[in-house]
Amino acid sequence: MPFSIYVVGENVVTSVLFLSLGFAGIPYFVFFLLILFWIRGRDVTYVRRLSYVSPLLFIPVQALYLSAKFAMDKLSSPELTGLSGSILVSSVYIVVIGYAYVLLVNVGYVGLMKAHIIGREKGV
């Protein structure tokens, strides 16, 4: 996190968001497009349920990205090892940060409904 403090200051939320983008920006964008395509035409209840498992669904996407990145890095540095360790560590990070995001989004959604800023959808 010291690098993120240098770049974005000492705001923890900003630092976490910045690190998340750097850590998984490309695979998350791919995941986002796949999920966006998948939920097209689905009701809000389905989308909310999907949000609860989305961090777990993202782990294989990140693992594929890390594997491809590792293979490209290994071409220039054949002595590299430790792919499985980095997938394991990233999986823990994905679960912790991913469920923090899920909690934030779902609490925000409920808060907006209770404040009557958005209406209650059928099936919620």
CA atoms lying within 13 Å on the CB side of residue 24? 26
**Tokens for 66?**
């890390």
- Amino acid sitting at position 35: I
Distance (Å, whole) CA 34 – CA 38: 6
Rounded to the nearest angstrom, the gap between the alpha carbon of residue 16 and the centroid of all alpha carbons in its chain is 11
| Number of Cβ atoms within 10 Å of the Cβ of 68 | 12
Secondary element (H or E) of residue 24: helix 12-39
Domain boundaries along the sequence of the chain: 2-114
pLDDT value at position 8? 52
Asked whether the beta carbons of 102 and 52 are under 8 A apart, the reply is yes
- Per-residue confidence in pLDDT tens, the chain, 124 aa: 455 455 555 676 677 677 777 778 889 899 999 999 999 999 988 999 999 999 999 999 999 998 888 888 888 888 877 777 788 888 998 999 899 989 999 999 889 989 988 876 654 4
Asked whether the beta carbons of 90 and 62 are under 8 A apart, the reply is yes
Distance (Å, whole) CA 28 – CA 30: 5
Distance (Å, whole) CA 9 – CA 4: 7
